[in-house]
Amino acid sequence: MAPRKIIIDTDPGQDDAVAILLALASPEDVTVLGVTAVAGNVPLPLTEKNARIVCELAGKPETLVFAGCDVPMKRKLVTAEHVHGKTGLDGPKMDDPTMPLQAQHGVDFIIETLRTHDAGTVTLCPLGPLTNIATAFEKAPDIVDKVQEIVLMGGAYFEVGNITPAAEFNIYVDPEAAKIVFASGIPIVVMPLDVTHHALTTHARVDAFSALGTKVGDMVAAWTNFFERFDKEKYGSEGAPLHDPCVIAYLIQPDLFEGRHVNVEIETQSDLTLGMTVADWWRVTDRKPNAMFMGSLNADGFFALLTERLARL
């Protein structure tokens, strides 16, 4: 099968960084048309810079990186330095990137790419707040029908929230954008915390990254060690969840995941549950299913795939 054409929309973030590396290491499965940065884990000037750092680390400085929206559609930006550190990529010291940032706005790149490709041939892979994607849909409604699929990291149901008791970070930061995306009618695959909390960086898995004996292996091990400290303390787990690489792993090996096609609505009104992804897992309403909401992961298979692919870089 020909590789799937994708746009990675991202707010790196150590786990975003690993997702980008996995995609760039897998040309037989995905062609990365571009990487669009969005404000999220840290402000936009850092997320776009981090995206370029990661592409250079992968040895792919020819990758097109764009800066998108710097604030959510209707709200003030909430960031997550408490998890990812001040730069968003805290851990080992990284040199500033030398590859260029594209002049075009990330939203316009998304619009132009969908307009210039045949309908049903471009998949969107959001790994951060959905601001860029929803803004593109509002600005150019004609592109909505052209999207092949959206495979995103965001939301939580049984696992509940990580930024508030009810909400997962990516959806909480821009719930209005998430509402637009989930109402778009596009086929959506969701990697919620219910799944990503099984993608845990145990000692053995981090040792396997280091054992690659490459710069990429050392960097991923160091990033996950940094990123881990927060989740270990919070959840008492052996490691931290590698959330965003689940999106790319799904495109490569979908049978690692299982879920249900259900209705998912986004809470935008309540202060208490703002950004909650209300998934009708038990199908107790007659609301139309709009998303494949994943619920489980073959974690050993996931880490085997990730390690094997990172070894190529």
Contact 178, 290 (CB under 8 A): no
Phi-psi region of 213 (alpha: psi -120 to 50; beta: other; left: phi over 0): left
Asked if 15 interacts with ligand BDR (CB under 6 A), we say: yes
Q: Is 162 in the site for ligand BDR (CB under 6 A)?
A: yes
- Counting residues that bind ligand BDR (by CB under 6 A) gives 15
Give yes or no: 243 in active site: yes
Q: Does 168 bind ligand BDR (CB under 6 A)?
A: yes
Q: Is 197 in the site for ligand BDR (CB under 6 A)?
A: no
Residue type, 308: E
41 is an interface residue for ligand BDR by CB under 6 A: yes
Q: Which is nearer to ligand BDR, 16 or 29 (CB)?
A: 16
Assess 16 for contact with ligand BDR (CB under 6 A): yes
- Residue closer to ligand BDR, measured from CB, 38 or 111: 38
- How many other CB atoms sit within 10 Å of the CB of residue 207? 10
- Min dist. Cβ of residue 90 to ligand BDR (A): 13
Query: Which of the ranges 53-61, 134-142, 162-170, 301-309 carries the binding residues for ligand BDR, by CB under 6 A?
Result: 162-170
Q: Does 90 bind ligand BDR (CB under 6 A)?
A: no
Choose the catalytic residue: 82, 117, 198, 243: 243
Contacting positions for Ca ion (CB under 5 A) = 11, 13, 16, 127-128, 244
Any idea how long the chain is?
Answer: 313
Neighbouring-strand partners of residue 151: 189
The distance of closest approach from Cβ of residue 155 to ligand BDR in the complex, given in angstroms and rounded to an integer, is 9
Write out the two tokens for 177: 């954008």
Active site residues: 243
